[in-house]
């Protein structure tokens, strides 16, 4: 099992969710985060002056899937979340040692 963690632009969330539903992914966890990479924040305007916002709002998606699904999921996220402009985000894959479904106490791949 692997966890796929993706940091994406907030307005891309619906598209990514649709794309994942199309390849059969049935669940995910989403959180609102702030961050920057080489984008280095953005410049905004207020009352006639510019100021820099260091941390830009992003969405973090976390999905735990069986090993054979990882490539499909990563590809789907990368293709839909991409805009071609700086700040598109990153995808990380982290191995998961255990998983359990709380309602039924199932473990392993049956739990994801």
Partner 1 sequence: MIKKFTTKMRDPKERRLFYAIFGGKMLGLGLCFLVMLGVSAYFGSTALKAHADTGTATTATAPATAAAPAAPAPVPDPPYCSPINTMWVLVTAFLVFFMQAGFMFLEAGFARTRETINVLLEGIVDTCLCGILFYLWGFAWMFGHGNGFIGWGDSSGHTWYCLQNLGDTYESTGVATLAFFLFQFAFADTCSTITSGAMLGRTGFWGDLWYSIGVSGFIYPIFGHWAWGPDGWLNTIHPAAFHDFAGSTVVHTIGGFIALAGAIVLGPRIGRKFKRDGGGPMPYHDMTIAAVGGVILWFGWYGFNPGSTLSAMDIQGVARVAANTTLAACGGGLGALLFVYPRFKKWDCGATINGFLAGLVAITCPCYWVSPFGAIMIGLIAGVVVILGVDLLEYLRIDDPCGAWPVHGLCGIWGTWSLGLFATGQFGAPTPTGADNSAGAIVSGLFYGGGWNQFIAQVIGNAAIGGSVFIVSLVLMYAVKATGTLRVSKDGEIEGLDLHEHGGHAYPEHTAHQS
Of 45 and 105, which has the nearer Cβ to partner 1? Answer: 45
Out of 26, 38, 50, 104, the only residue in the binding site for partner 1 (CB under 8 A) is: 50
Out of 26, 45, 95, 104, the only residue in the binding site for partner 1 (CB under 8 A) is: 45
94 lines the binding site for partner 1 (CB under 8 A): no
**Residues 61, 63, 69, 71: what is their CA dihedral angle, to the nearest 10 degrees?**
30
**Residues 47, 52, 55, 59: what is their CA dihedral angle, to the nearest 10 degrees?**
60
102 lines the binding site for partner 1 (CB under 8 A): no
32 lines the binding site for partner 1 (CB under 8 A): yes
Size of the site for partner 1 (CB under 8 A): 13
The structure tokens 């953005």 sit at 42
Out of 11, 26, 38, 48, the only residue in the binding site for partner 1 (CB under 8 A) is: 48
């Amino acid at each position: 099992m692997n966890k796929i963690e993706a940091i994406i632009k907030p307005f891309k969330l619906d598209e990514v969710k649709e794309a994942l539903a199309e390849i059969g992914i049935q669940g995910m966890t989403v959180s609102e985060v702030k961050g920057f990479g080489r984008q280095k924040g953005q410049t905004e305007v207020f009352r006639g002056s510019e100021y820099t916002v260091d941390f830009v709002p992003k969405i973090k998606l976390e999905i735990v899937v069986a090993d054979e699904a990882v490539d499909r999921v990563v590809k789907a996220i990368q293709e839909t979340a991409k805009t071609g402009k700086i700040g598109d985000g990153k995808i990380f894959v982290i191995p998961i040692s255990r998983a359990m479904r709380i309602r039924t106490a199932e473990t392993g791949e049956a739990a994801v």
